[in-house]
Amino acid sequence: MNDLFASIEEAKQERQAIQMADGIITTADELHRCEVLSIINRYFPNGDPKPYFAEVEKKRGKESADKLRADCRKEWTKRREVA
């Protein structure tokens, strides 16, 4: 371990702070939010995101795909109401 940090956790926190300062996405929630927006931007209003969700389910599991579907539905509904 580097003498600059007392623990792995401290080193991790320092790295996250640096990444946040550089505008790099560091949290799972932020990555998820960006993925939802990416899907909506790619498929709204006439596209079919089902193949994308099928790939997510295959690679990350049903729970992850279901969360992504639900959050995309919410965002899709918001955009439909505005349009």
Q: Where are the domains of the chain?
A: 27-82
Q: Note the pLDDT of residue 68.
A: 95
Is the peptide bond preceding residue 49 cis, with omega within 30 degrees of 0? no
Q: Which residues of 55-71 are buried (b: 16+ CB within 10 A; e: fewer)?
A: ebbeeeeeeebeebbeb
pLDDT in tens, 18-65: 766 666 666 788 889 989 999 999 999 899 999 999 999 999 999 999
Cα angle 50, 53, 59 (rounded to 5 degrees) comes to 145
> Higher pLDDT residue, 81 or 56?
56
Q: Note the pLDDT of residue 72.
A: 95
Report the C-alpha gap between 33 and 40 in whole angstroms: 11
pTM of full prediction above 0.85: no
pLDDT confidence of 71, banded at 50, 70, 90? very high
